[in-house]
Amino acid sequence: MLYVQHWSFKAGYHQKRAKNFLLEGDYPGVEMIGRYHAPGSLEGWIVLKTDNPKAIYEHVPQWSISKLENHSCFYS
């Protein structure tokens, strides 16, 4: 199943999260389809594929200084 994570940095944490974001690897058990960023903003989207949604939520704590929303999605 496909999932979309929408993230946005909290004010004042942009530099720290941007640095960590570039260093983070894939989530174990989850295939990253792509990461998309809105230029000039503090938000973006990650498209993920997994049969185990729990594998996505295990990584939420590392994003604690960001707002993070997860949504399941499908091709139409």
Burial class (CB in 10 A: 0-12, 13-18, 19+), 45: middle
Range of the domain at 37: 2-73
Burial class (CB in 10 A: 0-12, 13-18, 19+), 9: buried
Can you give the CATH number for the domain in which 15 is found? 3.30.70
Residue 2 binned pLDDT confidence (cut-offs 50, 70, 90)? very high
pLDDT tens by residue, 40-64: 778 889 899 999 988 888 876 666 6
pLDDT tens by residue, 21-37: 666 666 788 998 998 88
* Count of domains observed in the chain: 1
In the sheet that 2-9 helps form, which strands lie side by side, from edge to edge? 31-37, 43-49, 2-9, 66-73
The reported pLDDT for the residue numbered 13 is 65
